[in-house]
Structure 1
């Protein structure tokens, strides 16, 4: 987001409040907080970030029993500590995620600042299931200048939950870079890639089972599962049970630049999530020139609307690895003539490229002022 929107603006500072989870006894937690409070003013050091922005990381001590509302209040409190009680000096503040970012921004912005919030959390249902968090979310919607969801499906969900604020919620997607496609087109769909959390909601266990079934038909297939999560060890053990351990790699969580390289170096991104608000990795794969096999899980059917067959293959969300395997076989059988990745890239660049998304944000932030109007 910063790389896309910072050019053309004034000074840009990113305040990254980061939860530090503590599981120690209460007395130790309080001692750690006291020490953190003493050290914070001297420990904070702005760092250079992309597009000329500055990055300030603010650790936020948290405990497991916090609700999402509790977490939001703690993030707001510790940013205030970092700012020594002074407001964020910018005239425009843009926050990410409704509570943890939005509430924090509203509580620390100067009185005349314009505060905007983008929601892209795929766990929004969990947030709204907590009464205190739902109530705080309503306050964020009421107090902010503008509120954006990254897809229509998420916008509709929030509008249904907060009908009084429905008219305030607009759709602006996540920005994706289309500047670095692969050097050569994909020749065959044998090197599978998954990028994301290794958790049940992402469908990774079904993916592994489907891969094993397809590899039984084509021993040249490989699978890279890039990400971290609670299912990591279980997936590795299951790969051994299935006899495909030598064909499956687990590089762990990867940085964005490395994820982009993996997409250029593989033949197919497989993304069998159960639910996504957006599914940015799907767009990033097409931007890299890599076809996708993806579930209709909320966001992707909206982001790929009209170019589903050009970009790859879409499948329904099913609790059956056979659905993923069947989707792969269909895609393989019509590859490459049944796809049009250059067309898919061009369409998605118009929808989600840096220029399109930055322009939408700038119009909201600054109106018709093309030169920005100060930092934030």
Structure 2
């Protein structure tokens, strides 16, 4: 199998978790299927996105992307059979220059040429995200008569920028989905939402967790007495950080002095709402209990998962939520909300699943963990997570998707004129 992956997002220096699911999946496929060749077609995703917000938040990131435009294309081996093919280009908002998608397509054609030159004919294209990755995959599939698969991750689906005022999808999102040989959704909730737009029912294949990396600490970590909650996510309103801070503030006066003394919340991540969240914590009298860790490298995130007593992320919307699975793989229980993806990850055997925006329920869930009313076996938490989201489980499901599209003659009738 020669697989060409087109991610819509990809990790980079400023945001090491952005689109990490595409790279993690590619590495899992390559490791468990050593006879395969897996290529990631990159155009500087994320780092090369031109917007006022990106320039304001991370000017050095965007400057690096501009500098890469003058550099030669790069081929970087991640393992013996997994490669990054990168030809730099800049992406923009859809509202300006059509997202510069023709430049992204041109860069992807160059990446395709190098992969084909090195390996021979590509068997399947796999895009992560209907746009821009899915749109690029559709064009490549049409040009080379190769089937393509789209895995959709978007939450909420669709984002406002991809929908008309009447709620229908813009062609740049609808056409890649309509012409794909197979549509995959990372959760059942997202699959049902996609199906509402008239597409065939997507197959559900979750994001993968690398159980070799996300694992309990070899020895019990040296942590202070008490109870530590950990949150990891983008610092935006959608992640429910404000709700968590308010719930924690409401909880503390209700606890005994013994339990109250040791309660801590550690928050990892960066984003536009971080200053507001910090101000809220100060106003609520939580400054001494909340630690703001900023953007965490994977190794630091692992340390926090291992050191915490429970992971909490009361999001308003998640298509999947790999951080919940990473916590479980480290043997830690989870507090989440019924906001899409977590509905199929979290239940009463591995944590608590709450209604979105229910401050009282969130407060009571935190209390139950702090006072020891809920107990979970770390070994069972990890075993269940690996059985559903580990590399073997996810790679097997993806392989069946690829085999099916290759076996179907319909997959060769790809696309229509743009």
Band the TM-score falls in, shorter-chain normalisation = 0.7 to 0.9
Alignment length (residue pairs):
348
Where does structure 1 lack aligned partners over 5 or more consecutive residues? 25-35, 370-376
Q: Give the distance between the partners of 1:368 and 1:124, measured in 2 at CA.
A: 25
1:311 aligns with 2:350: yes
Residue 16 of structure 1: how far off its partner (Å) = 2.7
Q: In 1, are the aligned partners of 2:91 and 2:101 still within 8 Å (CA)?
A: no
Tell me the SS of whatever aligns to 1:175.
coil
Q: Which has the higher contact order (CA 8 A, sep 6+)?
A: 1
Residue 156 of structure 1: how far off its partner (Å) = 0.5
Correspondence list, 1:330-369, <5 A: 330-335=368-373, 337=375, 339-366=376-403
Q: Give the distance between the partners of 1:38 and 1:232, measured in 2 at CA.
A: 29
TM-score by length of 1: 0.81
1:102 aligns with 2:137: no
> Paired residue for 1:213?
250
Residue 130 of structure 1: how far off its partner (Å) = 3.6
Q: Give the distance between the partners of 1:294 and 1:47, measured in 2 at CA.
A: 37
1:51 and 1:296, CA in 2 relative to 1: closer, same or farther beyond 3 A? farther
1:155 aligns with 2:191: yes
Residue 237 of structure 1: how far off its partner (Å) = 1.9
Q: Give the distance between the partners of 1:340 and 1:346, measured in 2 at CA.
A: 10
> Paired residue for 1:93?
125
1:181 aligns with 2:216: yes
> Paired residue for 1:281?
323
CA RMSD of aligned residues (A): 3.1
Q: In 2, are the aligned partners of 1:311 and 1:341 still within 8 Å (CA)?
A: no
> Paired residue for 2:149?
116
Q: Give the distance between the partners of 1:254 and 1:38, measured in 2 at CA.
A: 25
TM-score by length of 2: 0.74
Q: In 1, are the aligned partners of 2:150 and 2:180 still within 8 Å (CA)?
A: yes
Residue 288 of structure 1: how far off its partner (Å) = 0.5
> Paired residue for 1:372?
none
Q: Which runs of 4+ in 1 moved over 6 A?
A: 36-39, 185-189
> Paired residue for 1:27?
none
Q: In 2, are the aligned partners of 1:149 and 1:171 still within 8 Å (CA)?
A: yes
Correspondence list, 1:32-51, <5 A: 40=69, 42-49=71-78
Tell me the SS of whatever aligns to 1:225.
strand
Tell me the SS of whatever aligns to 2:340.
coil
| Segment of structure 1 superposing worse, 260-269 or 283-292 | 260-269
1:166 and 1:241, CA in 2 relative to 1: closer, same or farther beyond 3 A? same
| Segment of structure 1 superposing worse, 241-250 or 229-238 | 241-250
